[in-house]
Structures are given as structure tokens and as C-alpha cells.
Structure 1
Amino acid sequence: MNQSSCAHALAAAQRLGLDRLDAQLLLLHALGKPPSGRSWLLAHDTDELAPGVIALFGALSLRRAEGEPLAYIVGTKEFFGLPLQVDKRVLVPRPDTETLVEWSLEVLKAQGTALQVLDLGTGSGAIALAIAHSLKAAGREAQVTAVDASADALDVARENAQRLDLAVAFIESSWLQAVDGCFHLIASNPPYIASADLHLAALTHEPLQALTAGADGLDDIRRIIQQAPGHLLPGSWLLLEHGYDQAGQVRELLLRQGFLQVGSRYDLAGIERCSGGQRPA
């Protein structure tokens, strides 16, 4: 085998512990090719790589082997069909969160015109931008507002909105503290990992403040549920993403706060990933 071929480089990355897909995506990135080019790698597996490409791919592979998320290394992550720029200022958007977007769009179908939508803890802007893009494509008039307590995260979200040509307003605020007005929908993927959770050991590259929320992981969810009724229009919805084992607790918090039609939705793995309820009309 050519010791500087695509196939040799991919084999070397797999010996470092990378799975084949990650290795392929990193090699495409080093070659300046899009993620959709995996078939090109298969057709050119014996092609000789330039020394600069080999060196760059080796450095990228080491970062991935040390646990850095692939999205941070390549600088992008697709979410709900949208290419988002991400870095260490924000969490990497997860496919499970698309469940929250799908539910959000479903409840908005029953709302009127001139929709007011709020995304709390927007991070990269994933939820707000996915909703804004979908409503725009459907020809529905909407004002989508994205909130985050991190100015750095808002910078990332703004850049994504500008690049995608989506009109989203941004507010720096600790949850609803600096937010005025009422909304047809408040959606949020807040921190929900318990501060002592062993899973945090695998997430050391991502911002801790966007992951943990007290001893049981529910501190921020409690705060949002308490504050939300004052910012929801009659008959409007609050939808929340939460941990794999928190659905029952979140439903109970919603019921205690007077929400109606309280329920949960399952993610792609069949886990109750989101819960929500409707403010009485």
C-alpha cells in the first residue's frame, strides 16, 4: 500500500482509535472537500496525499483521539438540515434536540399569525434558526427571539443567523430576566446534567455552564417553568428538552405550575427527551 495514500492515512487514524466515519470526515476536511465527499475517498483510496495534507490530517486525528468533538475540529455541525458554525464557545447541537424543533413546529401550526417565538439558552442558535428557517419556508410570519446568558454564545448564534440570512433577534439574559413581552411558544434546551454526573467526564471539551444545573440537574428547568407563565400568551406552549431520566419530574413541575396538556416526546433512541405543556387559555 502507498504509505501516503488516502487508505493508509485512514488506517493510521483508526489505529489511534477513531471510528471510520470520523476519520473520513477529518480527511475530507484536511483535503478541503465537503463532508458529502465520502464516495470520492472510496474512489481515490490509493491516491497519494501531499505532505501538508498528511501533517494536517495527523494533527486533526490526534485532537479527535483526545476526545475533542468532531464539530469543533471541522468548525461545523448540521442541525435540522442547516449547516451551523460551532466552536468551544457553544455546545455541539445534538440530533436528539431535533425532537424539540419538530414538536415546536407542530404546536405552532395551531397558533395564529404574526407568531412570537422564544428560544431560551440558544447557544449556537440551533433551535431558533431551525424554527425560523422552517417558518420562513412555510411562508408564515414570525418573530423569533433567541436568548443566552453568554455573550460569546450569542456572537456564534448571530454569525450563524447572518450566514443563513435568517432574521432572528438576540437578547443577552439569564433565562427570562431581561425578556419583555409574551410569546406563542417558549422552547428551551437548558443545562440538565447533575453536577456530579459521571457522564461529564466525556464532555470536558464543551462549556460546563451549558451542561450542568445543580445537584439533580433540574435547577434551570425549575426556574424556566416558574418564570414562563408570565411570558406566554393564553393557550401558548412551553417545551423543554431534559435528561433521559427526568421526564416524570419535569411533567410534575409543569403540572404544579398549572400547565395543561402536559406530555413528553421521544427522541430517536426511544427516550423521553422533551416535555411540555400549554398555558390555560
Structure 2
Amino acid sequence: MKALHRALADAARTLAPGSDTARLDAELLMAEALGIERDRLLLDPPDRPVPERFWSMVERRRGGEPVAYITGRRAFWNVELHVGPGVLIPRPDSETLIAAALEHFEGRAPPRRILDLGTGPGTLLLAALDLWPEATGLGVDASRRALSYAAANARRLRLDERTEWRLGDWAVGIQECFDLILCNPPYVATEAALGPGVAEHEPAEALFAGPQGLDDYRRIAPQIGRLLCPGGLAAIEIGADQGGSAAAIFRAEGLEPALAHDLNDRPRALLIQVNHN
């Protein structure tokens, strides 16, 4: 156990210059190298030698590769998702959308039909389907690789019979209405600086959306009104500085978005409801 503790301390020092979460990174990599969960590593560490592959993983992280790509997995809300190069890594900020949906449907009939636009590895849709076991969902993405991860995650979570995955251009060609629409589109301005390793490793098409980061909202906004069932909710992720600019795009389509804030009290999602007359 002392060897593990020393290795974790050494790895954290190695990673500190390039990571704000160096100790956490080291713990996640050690748990993966040992084949155990991080909780067990912290609460009941095994009395075993440090695996050699731990140090190769630390070197990959020191080079900027995201921890999720090194371990091949990332926890999100109540599910664990497999991820890899070419697929956007789920972020805690996106959990704001799930929290908003839970609040919206509290005391109401639960959603029966859920749409996830830009689903990536199935992040939002699979978390929502796990919460509402009677619901079914459609996940759409422009990336075949992302959809292959989404389908594999659905099978592993035993949600595949309740999911459909579609290669598509946002909502083009979709005719039905949905009780819950979830969407985490690209919203980073083309010239914006990102954290270490993000632009170098994650897919640009899932990050960047034009000079102001608003291009995809302009594509999505005209579709929301016709896709959302009465009493339903659309939760659309935004950048922390886009509460006004992104909302204006949806207002131009006759919608009235409200703002949801993340755990750091930053604007993080537009919440939209519609009344069909």
C-alpha cells in the first residue's frame, strides 16, 4: 500500500504542471491500471505492486491526452460510458440538462419519447432513459464513430431495445414530436482557447461552431417548435457567456427560453417549452 501511495504522489507531481486535477487524474489512472474502481483504491487499497502500465498511462496524460481516452470510460450522471478518440468526452456541465429535465417533469407525467440531438457516445439520452424506464429515445449525430460508441453503450447498459440511433444533420427529416429534447451542440468560438489537450485530442466538429460559437444554434432553433410536444421540455446546452446571444436566436423563432445555471452558477442551458394552439 505504501508503494501505491508513493506512486500516486509521484504521479500527481508529474502531472501538476499540465493539469488542474493532477491528484484525481493519478487516482483514476491507478484504479484503471489495477482493474478496480477509484472508490476501492481510496477506501481499501490492495496490497499489490504498482502495475508497469500505470507509468505509461501517466506519460500519456502528461502529454495532454484526456484521462477518459486513456481509461476508455467516463462517468456521467448515473451511467458509465465508454469513450475513445473521435468522440466528445462527457462533461459534468452537461448534467445541468438532466437536472433541469428532472425538475420539469417532477409532479407531471414522465416523458415517453426523448430526442438527443448531437448525441455523441449517447451521453444525454442514455442518462435520461436510465431515469425514466418507460421512455424510448432517438439519438442523432453526424459522426458514424460517435454513433458506434452510442450503440455499444446502449447494449452494455441494457438500454438498446429502447434506443434508436440515426446518422443525421440535426433534426432534418424528423417528423414526430418529443416530450423531452436534449442537445449539447458545438458552441466554442473558432478562435477560443481551450483547456490543455482538448483541441489537440477531441473532435473539432463537436467543439467549434463559427466565429461566435453560434452557428449550430441557428440550425437548431427553427426545428425546436415543431419537434416539442405540448407540456414537454427542450434543454439545450450553451457556453457560459452565451446566455444572451444564444437565447436571441431562439427568440427570433418565436420561442421563449429560460436560463438554467450549472453548479458554479454559470449560465449553462436554455430551457424551452411550447404551446401548440
Could you tell me the TM-score, scaled by structure 2's length?
0.89
| Structure 1, unaligned runs of 5 or more | none
Task: In structure 2, give the amino acid aligned to 1:26.
Answer: L
| Structure 2, unaligned runs of 5 or more | 17-21
- In structure 2, the CA distance between the partners of 1:11 and 1:253, relative to structure 1 (3 Å rule), is same
Task: In structure 1, give the amino acid aligned to 2:32.
Answer: H
Partner of 1:100: 97
Partner of 1:126: 123
Could you list the per-position Cα deviations for residues 48-98 of structure 1 after superposition, in whole angstroms to 9, with x for gaps in the alignment? Answer: 616xx1x21110000111111111111111111211111113111111111
Instruction: Report if aligned partners of 1:176, 1:224 keep a CA contact under 8 Å in 2.
Output: yes
The answer on 1:190 being equivalent to 2:185 is: yes
The answer on 1:38 being equivalent to 2:31 is: no
Instruction: Report if aligned partners of 2:235, 2:269 keep a CA contact under 8 Å in 1.
Output: yes
The answer on 1:239 being equivalent to 2:242 is: no
Partner of 2:31: 28
Partner of 1:14: 12
Shift of 1:279: 1.7
Higher alpha-carbon deviation: 226-235 or 27-36: 226-235
Partner of 1:156: 149
Larger Rg: 1
Shift of 1:105: 2.9
Could you list the per-position Cα deviations for residues 101-149 of structure 1 after superposition, in whole angstroms to 9, with x for gaps in the alignment? Answer: 111233345765772210100001110001111001xxxx322111111
Give the alignment's Cα RMSD to 1 decimal.
2.2
Higher alpha-carbon deviation: 101-110 or 171-180: 101-110
Partner of 2:176: 181
The answer on 1:227 being equivalent to 2:195 is: no
Structure 1 residue corresponding to 2:140, chosen from 129, 138, 147? 147
Task: In structure 2, give the amino acid aligned to 1:172.
Answer: L
Aligned-partner Cα distance in 1 for 2:105–2:164: 18
Partner of 2:86: 89
Partner of 1:278: 273
Please give the secondary structure, in 1, of the residue aligned with 2:194: helix
Instruction: Report if aligned partners of 2:182, 2:235 keep a CA contact under 8 Å in 1.
Output: yes
Structure 2 residue corresponding to 1:77, chosen from 56, 70, 74? 74
Task: In structure 2, give the amino acid aligned to 1:13.
Answer: A
Instruction: Report if aligned partners of 1:105, 1:131 keep a CA contact under 8 Å in 2.
Output: no
Identity across the alignment (%): 38
Aligned-partner Cα distance in 2 for 1:7–1:113: 46
Aligned-partner Cα distance in 1 for 2:43–2:261: 36
Task: In structure 1, give the amino acid aligned to 2:49.
Answer: L
Shift of 1:14: 2.4
Please give the secondary structure, in 2, of the residue aligned with 1:16: helix
Shift of 1:226: 1.3
Instruction: Report if aligned partners of 2:114, 2:135 keep a CA contact under 8 Å in 1.
Output: yes
Could you list the per-position Cα deviations for residues 230-260 of structure 1 after superposition, in whole angstroms to 9, with x for gaps in the alignment? Answer: 3223443322101010011122222221114
Instruction: Report if aligned partners of 1:115, 1:142 keep a CA contact under 8 Å in 2.
Output: yes
Instruction: Report if aligned partners of 1:251, 1:276 keep a CA contact under 8 Å in 2.
Output: no
Instruction: Report if aligned partners of 2:117, 2:139 keep a CA contact under 8 Å in 1.
Output: yes
Could you tell me the TM-score, scaled by structure 1's length?
0.88
Could you list the per-position Cα deviations for residues 161-197 of structure 1 after superposition, in whole angstroms to 9, with x for gaps in the alignment? Answer: 1111112111110101132312122210000000111
- In structure 2, the CA distance between the partners of 1:225 and 1:15, relative to structure 1 (3 Å rule), is same
Q: What is the number of equivalent residue pairs in this alignment?
A: 268
Instruction: Report if aligned partners of 1:108, 1:184 keep a CA contact under 8 Å in 2.
Output: no
Instruction: Report if aligned partners of 1:258, 1:279 keep a CA contact under 8 Å in 2.
Output: no
- In structure 2, the CA distance between the partners of 1:142 and 1:8, relative to structure 1 (3 Å rule), is closer
Task: In structure 1, give the amino acid aligned to 2:69.
Answer: Y
Task: In structure 2, give the amino acid aligned to 1:17.
Answer: L
Task: In structure 2, give the amino acid aligned to 1:49.
Answer: P
Instruction: Report if aligned partners of 1:259, 1:280 keep a CA contact under 8 Å in 2.
Output: no
Higher alpha-carbon deviation: 109-118 or 210-219: 109-118
Partner of 2:49: 49
